Structure 1
Amino acid sequence: MDKKNTNITILVIEDEIAIAEGLVDLLEFQGYHVKHVADGISGLTEGLSGKYGLILLDLMLPGMDGFTVCDKIREKDKDVPIIILSAKNTDKDIIDGLKYGADDYVPKPFAVPMLLARIEAVLRRSRQSMEGDGKLAAGNLRVNFREYSGFRGTEKLSFTRKEIEILEYLWNNRDRAVPRAELLNKVWGYENAETVDTRTVDIHITKLRKKIEDDPSHPCLLVTFRGEGYQLRETPD
C-alpha cells in the first residue's frame, strides 16, 4: 500500500460489476479510498459533491451517458481530474471525451500498470501549483489562467483545466518551440513521455486553436514547428 495515497478518494463510475470490483480492489490496494456507483445519474450526483480527488468514468452507463456526466461536472467544477475508461476507442470517441473536459482517455481493455501511471500522472499535475502572473496577452487574445476564461477580441472564451495548463506552460516557455514529449511530461506528468501515444496532445492543440485562433486552419499564435514542437507567440506571425 502506498501511504501517500491514503488522503485521496477516487470515484469509480462503472456499470460492469466485474470491472468495477477489479478497479476498487486495485485502487484500495494502492492506498486510495474508493467509492463506486453504477449509473450515470448517481455518478453525476457524487461527482458534483466535491468529495473526490479523481473520477474514473465509463461512457456507456444506464440513466445518463458518460459524455453527459463529464460535461455537467465540468460546468460546475473545472478542477476535479476526470479519466474516461471506455471500450469506445475511435478517434472521434477520444476527441469527444476530451472536448467534454476529460483530462485523459484510457481505452478498455487496459494494462494495470498503464492505468496506475495515468492516475498518478493526473493527480501529480493536479497538485502542482502554476507559475507566472496568471495572465496571457497575445495579439487579440487575453486569457486569465486562474479563472479559466478569456477573450479573443470581443468573443468570450472558456477553457478546461487541461487547456489552461497547456496554454500556461507554452506561455511560460514562449521563447521556444516546446516538444510534444515535454508537454506530456510537464503538463500530463508522464515520466516516460517518449513512449506515450501523442494523439492526446494533438487533439488538445486542435481544440485550443479552434478557440484562440481567428483562422484555426492557418494558426498564427499557436504554431507548429515540424520536428520541434509547439510555440505560443506574443504577436501573430
Structure 2
Amino acid sequence: MNEPPLIAVIEDEEHLAQGLVFNLQAEGYRTYQEADGDAALAWLLDPTQHADLVVLDCMLPGSDGFTIVRAMREAQRYTPVLMLTARSRPEDILEGLEAGADDYLPKPFDLSILLVRIKSLLRRTAWQRNATPTASEQTQSSEYAFNHRTIRFDALELAAPNRTTNLTVMEADLLRYLTEREGQIVSRKEILEQVWRVHEDTDTRAIDNFIVRLRRYIEDDPANPQHLITVRGIGYRFVANPT
C-alpha cells in the first residue's frame, strides 16, 4: 500500500506551522516540520530524505526561503515548492518565482485555498510519475514540438536531442502561455497578470531573468536567441520556426 504524500512545512511562526501541520495531517498527509532555514535546507538536500511537496515561508531564521529554493534547484531537486509570501509583496512573489518556486500564496491565506494549491501541485507530480493517466488527465496533457525539442507540459520536462530538462510548474506554465501565442507579442505586464497572477505595478526584471533561464533550455545559442525573442520595451515573442 502506498504511503500518503509527505509535505515539508518550513515555517518559523509557531502557531501557523502547528495549524498547517494539524490540518495537513487531518487531510491524510504525512508531515515534516522545521522552523530554521539552515536545518530545513540540510534536510531537503539530504539524499536519504524525500518530500513530495514543500510549503516554504520566504522569511526564515538562517537561510531564507529564496536561498532554499535556489539551492534545491541548483542541486537538481525538483520537489514542488509552494512559497508563502509576506503581505502580498510583489517583490517577494517575483523573487520566489524567479528562484524556482512552483506557486505562491500571500499571507494571510484561506486554508481551503492552500489545500487546493497543494492538491494541484501534487496532481501535476502524479501525472509525471503515472504511466497510465486517467481519461481526464489525458485530456489535459499536451506536448509542443519545435526545433528537435519537445515540451511535455504535464510531465514538467523539456526533451532535447542530448538531454531532458526538468521544469518547474511556473516554467512550464510560461512556456505553455508563450507557445499557445506563437508569433504574437506578449507583454511583461501580461505575463505578470495572466501567468504569475501578480496584479500590481512592480519591477519586471524578474521576468527578464526568468526568460534568460528558459533560453538556456530551448535555444541552440542562448546568447543569440532565435525562438524566444525580446521585443524591446514591450515583452517577448515565441517563434517556433525562425526564417
Q: Give the superposition deviation at 1:44.
A: 0.5
Tell me if the contact between 1:101 and 1:160 (Cα under 8 Å) persists in the aligned partners: no
Tell me if the contact between 1:84 and 1:97 (Cα under 8 Å) persists in the aligned partners: yes
User: Are positions 1:13 and 2:23 aligned together?
Assistant: no
Structure 2 counterpart of 1:33: 30
Q: Where does 1:102-117 land on structure 2 (aligned, <5 Å)? A: 102-117=101-116
Following the alignment from structure 1 to structure 2, what is the Cα–Cα distance between the partners of residues 97 and 78?
16
Structure 2 counterpart of 1:215: 230
Structure 1 counterpart of 2:196: 200
Q: Give the superposition deviation at 1:198.
A: 3.7
Structure 2 counterpart of 1:187: none
Identity %: 31
Q: Give the superposition deviation at 1:137.
A: 2.0
Note the residue ranges of structure 2 that are not aligned, 5 or more in a row. Answer: 129-140, 185-192, 199-203, 216-227
User: Are positions 1:166 and 2:165 aligned together?
Assistant: no
Following the alignment from structure 1 to structure 2, what is the Cα–Cα distance between the partners of residues 163 and 135?
19
Tell me if the contact between 1:81 and 1:103 (Cα under 8 Å) persists in the aligned partners: yes
Structure 2 counterpart of 1:68: 67
Following the alignment from structure 2 to structure 1, what is the Cα–Cα distance between the partners of residues 33 and 61?
14
Structure 2 counterpart of 1:235: 241
Q: Give the superposition deviation at 1:74.
A: 1.2
* Deviation by residue 1:124-183 (Cα, 9 ceiling, x = unmatched): 112213654x86429xxx677687687xxxxxxx87422552366458857798xxxxxx
Following the alignment from structure 1 to structure 2, what is the Cα–Cα distance between the partners of residues 89 and 108?
7
| TM-score using structure 1 length | 0.66
Tell me if the contact between 1:87 and 1:107 (Cα under 8 Å) persists in the aligned partners: yes
Tell me if the contact between 2:9 and 2:55 (Cα under 8 Å) persists in the aligned partners: yes
RMSD over aligned CA atoms reads 3.7
Following the alignment from structure 1 to structure 2, what is the Cα–Cα distance between the partners of residues 28 and 128?
23
Following the alignment from structure 2 to structure 1, what is the Cα–Cα distance between the partners of residues 43 and 172?
25
Following the alignment from structure 1 to structure 2, what is the Cα–Cα distance between the partners of residues 220 and 62?
38
